[in-house]
Amino acid sequence: MAPGELPGFLETLRLALRLNPSIYTALPGSTQGLTYAAAIVVLAGISESLGQSVVLFLNRVRFPRFFLALSITTLSHMAGYLLWTLTIWSVGNLLTDTYQPWSVVAVVVGLAYAPQILAFFELTPYLGNLIWGILSLWSMLAIVGALRFGWGMETWQALLVSGLGWGLIQAVRRTAGRPI
């Protein structure tokens, strides 16, 4: 990637999966970055839905219910992204001396969702929970790195801010998200 040049979507995805710090400094603040981040989050939500679709199919769920379940999973994934972004944006701006606009934080968090595109592997028998844990940790490391390089936070600040958001998402998924 040449200086000043923005990468294409697949290159952005590759750099985000590799936790390459250059992507977290190149794209935030650009319209293209926000578009790519939104696309990554949507693809991650669809991937999680596809992983769950096999279970729904095996249980012979009728099409309307099948479609509803997949839609709810995708939408809840995007709601989790918005919640994590909001948490990082609000707490991060309180902890640091530099103010970051919502759109910059949305790009950084969206890029860190890149590992979740592999969420369809969570259905793997006997390994699903392990794969979920690896993808979750991978995304957490991506967000910590993104906050360090894209926002200039110290490591402890990035861990605190991203950990708060991650914990909040897990709490919502295990309480309010359970009945859905």
For residue 165, what are the contacts with CB-CB under 8 A and spacing of at least 6?
Answer: 83, 84, 85, 87, 88, 91, 143
What is the pTM assigned to this prediction? 0.83
pLDDT of residue 149: 81
Nearest 10 degrees: Cα torsion 157, 162, 168, 171: -120
Residue pLDDT, tens place only, 149-178? 878 888 998 999 988 888 888 787 777 655
Give the number of other CB atoms < 10 A from CB of residue 136: 16
CA dihedral (48, 67, 173, 104) in degrees, to 10, reads 60
According to the model, what pLDDT value does residue 176 have? 62
Judged on CB neighbours under 10 Å (0-12, 13-18, 19+), 73 is buried
Share of the chain above pLDDT 90, in %: 18
CA distance 162 to 85: 9
CB 48 within 8 A of CB 73: yes
Locate tokens 């994590």: which residue?
Answer: 84
